[in-house]
Amino acid sequence: MKFFVDSADLDQIAQLNDVGLVDGVTTNPSIIAKSGRDFKEVIAEICALVEGPVSAEVTAIKADEMIAEGRLLRKIAPNVCVKLPLTMDGLTACNKLSAEEVPTNVTLCFSANQAILAAKCGASFISPFIGRLDDINIDGLELIEEIRTIYDNYGYETEILAASIRSVNHIKECAIIGADVITSPPDVIRKMADHPLTDKGLAAFLKDWEKTGQTIL
């Protein structure tokens, strides 16, 4: 499973990238706004930092304008992936840009029906939102499972990019279901390494080692 970082914080992206835990990055207008920086500059810097796809989202709502914005965003760097909303206009733009071999990430997916449309329009990625469904008492992980089954039934090449990740359990369950990618805030990815028994065991090892009076370096 690929790990994308859902952030525009270059320091945090770089830290995880150095560990080998970054296969790509996703951004959205809200994330960029929090950075307080120029949108295109941030995207360019992230693209230079990581090798994988970097999702940059259009802000237009009409298909023709989305297509124009998508073409412009694609010029920023060769690993830009144009992010489009799951609306009929967004699907129209996805179909057109995909035909031009522009990678696309169709976002704000909340149903399997929507995911089918994105795949038929040639989306590179579909982004179902787990956490936001959980917020309204709908099982977001069940949606990932439905999309996995449907895509496998018909051999759709669109990758399932599980988004709105809120916990390490979300990541584990997505891996069990077979999501191709998860995109997560940096802190959730780091928490995957945490376990009280690991901490306890390490403390015991270090205590015993200290008693020997030895050093390795």
62: phi then psi, degrees, rounded to nearest 5: -100, 145
Q: How many CB atoms lie within 10 A of CB 83?
A: 25
Burial of 131 by CB count in 10 Å (0-12 exposed, 13-18 middle, 19+ buried)? Answer: middle
What is the residue whose two structure tokens read 């940059």?
56
DSSP code for 86: S
Q: Does an H or E element contain 3, and which? A: strand 2-6
Q: Does an H or E element contain 104, and which? A: strand 104-109
Structure tokens at 11: 């320091």
Q: Please name which of 39, 37, 126, 32 lies closest in space to residue 84, comparing C-alpha atoms.
A: 126
142: phi then psi, degrees, rounded to nearest 5: -65, -35
Any catalytic annotation for residue 172? no
Which of the residues 2, 83, 120, 172 is marked catalytic? Answer: 83
Catalytic (active-site) positions:
83
